[in-house]
Amino acid sequence: MDFLRPTTWEEALAAKADQPGAVPIQGGTDVMVEINFDVRRPPALLDLTGVAELREWSMTGGLCGVGAGVPYAAVIDELGGPLPGLAQASRTVGSPQIRNRGTVGGNLGAASPAGDSHPPLLAAGAVVEVESRDRGVRMIPAAEFYLGVKRSALEPDELIRAVHVPPATGPQYFSKVGTRNAMVIAVCSFAIALHPRERRVGTGIGSAAPTPRRALEAEELLAAELDWDAPIAPALLKRFGELCARAAAPIDDVRGTAAYRVHAIGVLARRTLTWAWNDHLEKRAA
């Protein structure tokens, strides 16, 4: 197996263009597990840890650009202010060791429906920046990035450079159901982001459909019926939970049944909206 070690982004793109079968490796917390268990034996590994710029984040053009190599630990320590939903989700990933190595870029690359970064990226309206040497840059909205179970819009000659996330303008929450409190892949998860200026609420469902997805009908309901100056009517909250549950399309597997996941998504949706709404009203009253 070849081991390619570019030190610049241009070298990395050239290596991927010349060897599209080379598997990128960042933190390695997914790739190494697959290699250890012989799930795949790629002709080459493309080690991106030498490309320093991937480990940086920056605030440009009103968006927070998180390099594909920024580990969860940095998201938690440095980005809790602008990206509270993503930071909250990052705190639930694996263990301290996994959070030191694992990255949001790797989560996107793996595109598992259970990946914890996806729901907050969907709720916030993130855009994934990918690039190939020969075809240049593509900016893909998170909602269009996930195509199927562990399948994304990334082409074989492309690499993920960064994910661009609008900084929070309102409360954001992430909630995950697991069989224990740490080191657990989500049975299901849910993220919410209030966008008070646009009078809009963003949602993200995790581990309850072939891909991470938004609950679009539920978002439309709130856009039409939410009074941003008043407590949420219990009937509206209930309907929101129902529509989020209806947006899920889970399967039975070792982690949980489809029926349980549908039920739990409804509960998480009501719960996270209640938390976010309480924060929103408290801020208004202050």
Ligand X SMILES: Cc1cc2nc3c(=O)[nH]c(=O)nc-3n(C[C@H](O)[C@H](O)[C@H](O)COP(=O)(O)OP(=O)(O)OC[C@H]3O[C@@H](n4cnc5c(N)ncnc54)[C@H](O)[C@@H]3O)c2cc1C
State the residues that interact with ligand X by CB under 6 A. Answer: 23-31, 33, 48, 68, 93-94, 98, 101-103, 105-107, 109-110, 115-116, 154, 159-160, 183, 185
E strand or H helix that includes residue 270: helix 258-285
**Least distance in Å: CB of 244 to ligand X?**
20
∠ CA 13-31-115, nearest 5°, is: 95
**Least distance in Å: CB of 283 to ligand X?**
30
**Range 192-208 burial, b when 16+ CB lie within 10 A, else e:** bbbbeeeebbbbbbbbb
Q: Answer whether 116's CB lies under 8 Å from 186's CB.
A: yes
Coil, helix or strand at residue 275: helix
Tell me the DSSP string of 120-131.
Answer: HHHHHT-EEEEE
E strand or H helix that includes residue 31: helix 31-36
Other residues' Cβ atoms within 10 Å of the Cβ of residue 78: 14
Nearer to ligand X, 107 or 221 (CB): 107
Nearer to ligand X, 261 or 270 (CB): 261
**Least distance in Å: CB of 206 to ligand X?**
8
**Least distance in Å: CB of 241 to ligand X?**
24
Nearer to ligand X, 185 or 249 (CB): 185
**Least distance in Å: CB of 69 to ligand X?**
7
Nearer to ligand X, 157 or 279 (CB): 157
State how beta strands 127-132 and 158-165 pair: antiparallel
